[in-house]
Chains A and B, each alone.
Chain A
Amino acid sequence: MSAGPWRIAAGHLARNRAAMAGVAVFVVIALACLAAPLYAEHVAHTDPFRSNVSGTTVVDGRTVQVLAPSSTGLGLGVTPIGPTWDPGHYFLGADNQGRDVLARLLYGGRNSLFIGLISALLCCLIATAVGVLAGYAGGPVDALLSRTLDVVWSIPVYLLAICLSVILLTSGLRLGPITISAGSLWVPILIIAVVYVPYVARPVRGQVVALRNRDYIQAAIGTGASDVRVMRRDVLPNILPTAIVFVPIMMALDMLTESALSFLSVGVQPPDASWGTIINDGLGLLYTRPAVTIAPGLCIAATAVALNVLGDGVRDALDPGAR
């Protein structure tokens, strides 16, 4: 495989200012999230995973309670401290357990980004394998795989993901040598990767079917090359751009799906956090402390926009027809 077409595509991508802006936004968000422990320990001096119900903090030189008794309605319950805009103390306020929202946001972002990235890669990997196999083999293998993909795709993705989550979250998964415990991040990763496989595998298969009738593939088969060799040397390199185009788009889609599942409390499980679980935490505080809900949503939206713009750029760079 020569570097020629890839280098040309990379050059195209580098000259695409929108795509590069997307990369920049994504890198900034990812770095900030990676620095979560630094922020929590050295700037905010807080443990965002321990509830801090009776804690106090300093605002404008005065010591105040993190969870103040509610002054509205019947005076029952508590209202957490709102945004102080002071990076050292509860910059975005606290949630209903008195935990620092900004610190949780950064930690949650690590999980959201990790789940998005790994499930997107996993999904594209499985989908490419299935698509190439189905498209190249044809006949009954293709029929079986294609119909299976059709059936899976006929169930709305969110519903399928919810069904799988409900089952796997209570008991975990034991499939041969693979054991995944119920609260593990791998449960949402695996589920999200699997439910989107048809989305990627079907176009890949379509391309392989078209490729298979091309003269050079027929020639390779005619010279006696083994199926594995033809798939690896002649089919895969031509399919790779299609699969790569899907990675950033799928990561955006996967992150949105993860956040929705977590919002429905069937995604990331406590004590772990993700942007979706923080939005869920903010539900009861929506009208009093909207920052808890708004901030993680903006993070998801910004990351998804950056990835989608990058995805468009990658598509334009790899697909000469779309230029």
Chain B
Amino acid sequence: MLLFAVRRLASAVLVLFAISVLVFLIFFATPGVDPAARIAGRNADPATLAQVRHSFGLDRPIPIRYALMMRHLFISRDLESFVNRGAKVIPQIVQATPVTLSLVLGAAVIWVLFAVLMGTVAAWRRGTVADPLIMLAGVVGISLPVYWLGEVVNLITQSRLHGSVFSWVPPLGYVSLTDDPGQWALHLLFPWLTLAVLYAGIYARLLRSELVANLNEDYVRTARAKGISERRILIRHALRCSLIPIVSLFGLDFGALVGGAALLTEVVFGLPGVGKLTYDALQTVDLPMIMATVIYAAFFVVLANAVVDVLYARLDPRARHA
């Protein structure tokens, strides 16, 4: 088990290295792209371009530029923005992380609760109207563009019904958990719900199909033959096994969301998280900022992946030898 964990971690480090190379190449070695032209601005004369190229080390060979960039990112952590000269990238990411974590953690609790409820009830009520209705809700959940849903939620809670039903909804923004836990939750309530809709749909659909497959397994027949009640079989036997693939998917999604996949939700609700940082950098085409946030994102995904695989191996011994 320990050996498995160590091996898994080593491969995670390798994947991270590959990602950093890939992202670096996308930004600084795409054929026909000149980052210096981007930094120097439109219509820059050749002398300015050459100067920019030199001051950013863009005239060096690619492996050296890669090493320089990684040193700025991970060792000296003093990578500077190309747009706001002097603004350090890493502290901004560190500052934005708690916002993103708050958003994703809350949403995760909501979506897992709803998904387990929806998936279990749908599988339990298979053959009745409840099953297709719940699954239709799931399909709608995965089909709504999340940023659009956020806009509509804002329209209702901040404008149309703000005078009556939703007068308690605070204006868009973020309040830190340590400042005021009540306001923190209140500000995040609708972002949580909006973000949870998509994932509740995905997980509910997955859980239902896993449950239905597990209910046809031999061990369920054995349990039935022993006279265990259907409800106990569903919850104690089938649900337990069906949750295993959910755990592995959850790790992936959680990592990706913390890494910035919650970008659209953060933008729509004005939450100053890592995704919003990426979005703002996008508006000004701030390459180091975008690159740093993406590599940071990949770091979370790879980490979450490794943790999930180790957990998975604890849950399911077969995975250790695969």
Tell me the nearest residue of chain B to A164, going by C-beta.
Answer: B26
Q: Complex formed: what's the CA distance from A301 to B146 in Å? A: 10
Contacts of A252 in B (CB 8 A): 143
The answer to whether B148 and A297 touch across the interface, beta carbons within 8 angstroms, is yes
Is B298 among interface residues, defined by CB-CB distance under 8 A? yes
A-B contact number at CB 8 A: 144
Binds B, one of A119-127, A128-136, A146-154, A231-239: A146-154
Contacts of A174 in B (CB 8 A): 31-32
Contact of A287 (CB < 8 Å), options: B23, B155, B278, B287: B155
Return B205 CB to nearest CB of chain A, in Å: 9
Contact of B152 (CB < 8 Å), options: A162, A276, A294: A294
Taking CB atoms and an 8 Å cut-off, the chain A residues in 156-185 that contact chain B are: 156-160, 162-164, 166-168, 170-175
Contacts of B155 in A (CB 8 A): 286-287, 290, 293-294
Interface size class of A (residues with CB under 8 A): 35 or more
Contacts of B263 in A (CB 8 A): 158-159, 264
Contacts of A309 in B (CB 8 A): 139
Binds B, one of A7-15, A77-85, A213-221, A255-263: A255-263
Contacts of A168 in B (CB 8 A): 30
When A18-B132, A164-B26, A171-B32 are in contact, do A154 and B145 touch as well, CB less than 8 Å? no
Contact of B23 (CB < 8 Å), options: A147, A163, A266, A296: A163
Q: Complex formed: what's the CA distance from A30 to B191 in Å? A: 32
Q: Complex formed: what's the CA distance from A171 to B47 in Å? A: 21
Contact of B261 (CB < 8 Å), options: A156, A171, A305: A156
The answer to whether A156 and B256 touch across the interface, beta carbons within 8 angstroms, is yes
Tell me the nearest residue of chain A to B302, going by C-beta.
Answer: A154
Is B242 among interface residues, defined by CB-CB distance under 8 A? no
Contacts of B145 in A (CB 8 A): 256, 259-260, 263, 276, 279, 297, 300-301
The answer to whether A154 and B282 touch across the interface, beta carbons within 8 angstroms, is no
Is B194 among interface residues, defined by CB-CB distance under 8 A? no
Contact of B264 (CB < 8 Å), options: A172, A263, A305: A263
Is A111 among interface residues, defined by CB-CB distance under 8 A? no
Question: What's the dominant secondary structure at chain A's contact region?
Answer: helix
The answer to whether A167 and B260 touch across the interface, beta carbons within 8 angstroms, is no
Contact of A279 (CB < 8 Å), options: B33, B151, B285, B291: B151
The answer to whether B23 and A286 touch across the interface, beta carbons within 8 angstroms, is no
Contacts of B149 in A (CB 8 A): 297
Return A271 CB to nearest CB of chain B, in Å: 20
Contact of A170 (CB < 8 Å), options: B38, B148, B209: B38
How does the 8 Å CB contact mask read for B13-30 relative to A, with 1 for contact and 0 for none? 001001100110011001
The answer to whether A159 and B132 touch across the interface, beta carbons within 8 angstroms, is no
Q: Complex formed: what's the CA distance from A297 to B18 in Å? A: 37
Contact of A156 (CB < 8 Å), options: B33, B140, B260: B260
The answer to whether B27 and A162 touch across the interface, beta carbons within 8 angstroms, is no
Is B294 among interface residues, defined by CB-CB distance under 8 A? yes
Q: Complex formed: what's the CA distance from A172 to B32 in Å? A: 8
Q: Complex formed: what's the CA distance from A305 to B137 in Å? A: 10
Q: Complex formed: what's the CA distance from A161 to B120 in Å? A: 35
Tell me the nearest residue of chain A to B146, going by C-beta.
Answer: A260
How does the 8 Å CB contact mask read for A285-323 relative to B, with 1 for contact and 0 for none? 011001001101100110011001100100000000010
Contacts of B302 in A (CB 8 A): 154
How does the 8 Å CB contact mask read for B242-264 relative to A, with 1 for contact and 0 for none? 00000000000000110111011
Return B280 CB to nearest CB of chain A, in Å: 11
Contacts of B301 in A (CB 8 A): 154-156
The answer to whether A151 and B18 touch across the interface, beta carbons within 8 angstroms, is yes
The answer to whether A264 and B279 touch across the interface, beta carbons within 8 angstroms, is yes
Return A242 CB to nearest CB of chain B, in Å: 16
Question: What's the dominant secondary structure at chain B's contact region?
Answer: helix
Of A168, A172, A293, A308, which is in contact with the most chain B CB atoms at under 10 Å from its CB?
A308
The answer to whether B148 and A308 touch across the interface, beta carbons within 8 angstroms, is no
Contact of A175 (CB < 8 Å), options: B31, B146, B257, B279: B31
Is B104 among interface residues, defined by CB-CB distance under 8 A? no
Q: Complex formed: what's the CA distance from A252 to B34 in Å? A: 34
Contact of B294 (CB < 8 Å), options: A159, A287, A305, A322: A159
When A166-B290, A171-B32, A173-B32 are in contact, do A286 and B154 touch as well, CB less than 8 Å? yes
Return A255 CB to nearest CB of chain B, in Å: 9
Is B50 among interface residues, defined by CB-CB distance under 8 A? no
Q: Complex formed: what's the CA distance from A301 to B197 in Å? A: 13
When A156-B260, A159-B297, A167-B27 are in contact, do A301 and B144 touch as well, CB less than 8 Å? yes
Is B159 among interface residues, defined by CB-CB distance under 8 A? yes
Is B305 among interface residues, defined by CB-CB distance under 8 A? yes
Of B257, B283, B293, B298, which is in contact with the most chain A CB atoms at under 10 Å from its CB?
B298
Q: Complex formed: what's the CA distance from A174 to B33 in Å? A: 10
Taking CB atoms and an 8 Å cut-off, the chain B residues in 276-322 that contact chain A are: 278-279, 282-283, 285, 287, 290-291, 293-294, 297-298, 301-302, 305
Contacts of A305 in B (CB 8 A): 139-140, 143
The answer to whether B282 and A166 touch across the interface, beta carbons within 8 angstroms, is yes
Interface residues of A (CB under 8 A from B): 18, 147, 150-152, 154-160, 162-164, 166-168, 170-175, 252, 256, 259-260, 263-266, 276, 279, 283, 286-287, 290, 293-294, 296-297, 300-301, 304-305, 308-309, 312, 322
Given contacts A159-B297, A263-B264, A287-B159, 11 further A-B contacts (CB under 8 A): A151-B22, A159-B263, A162-B282, A166-B287, A173-B32, A259-B145, A279-B148, A293-B155, A297-B148, A300-B148, A305-B140
Cβ contacts A to B, 6 pairs, < 8 Å = A154-B301, A156-B256, A160-B294, A168-B30, A279-B147, A308-B139
Interface residues of B (CB under 8 A from A): 15, 18-19, 22-23, 26-27, 30-34, 38, 132, 139-140, 142-149, 151-152, 154-155, 158-159, 209, 256-257, 259-261, 263-264, 267, 278-279, 282-283, 285, 287, 290-291, 293-294, 297-298, 301-302, 305
